Amino acid sequence: MNASLNSDQDMTMKIFTHHEFDHHEQVVFCHDQNTGLKAIIAIHNTHRGPALGGCRMYPYASDEEALNDVLRLSKGMTYKSAIANLPLGGGKSVIIGDPHRDKTPELMRAMGKAVDQLGGRYIVAEDSGTCVADMLLMGELTPHVSGIAEKCDAEGNCRSGDPSPMTARGTFVGIQAAVAHRLGKSNLDGIRVAIQGVGNVGHHLAKQLHDAGAELFVSDINRTAVEQMVSELGATAVANEEIYDLDVDVFAPCALGAIINDLTIPRLRASIVAGAANNQLAEKRHGVALAEKGILYAPDYVINAGGVIDVCYERNHLAQDHIIKQVDAIADTLHEIFNRAEAQHKPTFELADRIAEERFAS
């Protein structure tokens, strides 16, 4: 167990018995008194390569909540990179604080220093509550940062290092694969999709679904984001607590995790759960419950791997068209998982886990 800058001894003593601890290699507690930085970095597995994962900034209600999140998310990154066949391990970091109130350039630089002290075992990228500008500030203190390089295609169209468009693209092709498998439709024209969360990724996903002819229902704690989707795409606004109850074809979680649980599963009327949120299943048994209810589940770390594919290949300086090809291959991976799960009468998440674990085992 390592500590960077400062450590919380009471918290570290709880790591090995924590219910989300899964043989994590390293958990680092970071504190900088001058900037107010309070952060945790978790490295789950580095058998395939250095641990890459985003830095989330969120006003956690407690240190325990932040630890729970970073342990879950870092493990998910190991599975995500392995299932995408990337030369990366899994890691994640969280900063405890409100990104709208507590974020400062000095705090981001302090986080960059904390990342640098790990000597490249962990590579940081953006996540909820952080952005490309924050990564550039961290990059002043460490070279171990990704998601900052401008990317251009063969036609000269360029975008920033923000990986959210690729996360959305992978989720979009994943929804296409799920609709083809469960509903037998080769297109999304008229398909009803309920999107929970229209932040960066959900916004991009909604536009792609709209352009493909899908009918959209959207919810978000940010009413402005919802109103924008209504105005731009003709989406139907739905109250946050009502999104589970809609009679739709696809429920697309694109906000926080653990939203597939004992309370929500009985309410779901969708045939498919396929979205960009991490750790959608509150517990693995909820993946079994979805299968028993006849709902096709696209494992979250498979369908939302577009972002990590993007930042991985950015570090290898590969062309944009190659990155897009790799992201679009998410559909092929899902087709394989769906078909094998059906043939073996297994929940889809079990097949995905098995494939990933074979790839990152030591």
Same domain for 115 and 230? Answer: no
Average the pLDDT over 319-328 and give the result: 91
Average the pLDDT over 258-284 and give the result: 97
CATH code: domain of residue 18: 3.40.50.10860
| 1, part of any domain | no
148-195 pLDDT per residue, tens: 977 665 555 666 678 899 999 999 999 999 999 999 999 999 999 999
Nearest to 136 by CA among 127, 126, 128: 126
Q: In the chain, which ranges are E strands?
A: 26-32, 37-45, 51-58, 89-96, 122-126, 151-152, 158-159, 192-196, 215-219, 236-237, 250-253, 272-273, 296-297
Q: What are phi and psi of 174, to 5 degrees?
A: -70, -40
Q: Residue type at 285?
A: R
56-66 pLDDT per residue, tens: 999 999 999 99
Q: What pLDDT is stored for residue 12 in this prediction?
A: 54
| 22, part of any domain | yes
Same domain for 203 and 287? Answer: yes
Q: What pLDDT is stored for residue 2 in this prediction?
A: 43
Instruction: State the SS3 of 46-91.
Output: CCCCCEEEEEEEECCCCHHHHHHHHHHHHHHHHHHHHHCCCCCEEE
β 215-219/236-237 pair status: parallel
| 153, part of any domain | no
Same domain for 129 and 214? Answer: no
Same domain for 53 and 192? Answer: no
Residues annotated as catalytic are 92
Whether the CB-CB separation of 149 and 161 falls below 8 Å is answered with yes
Q: How many distinct structural domains can be found in the chain?
A: 2
User: Global pTM?
Assistant: 0.89
For 154, counting Cβ atoms within 10 Å of its Cβ (0-12 exposed, 13-18 middle, 19+ buried), the class is: exposed
Same domain for 196 and 92? Answer: no
CATH code: domain of residue 306: 3.40.50.720
Domain that holds residue 336: 164-360
238-251 pLDDT per residue, tens: 999 999 999 999 99
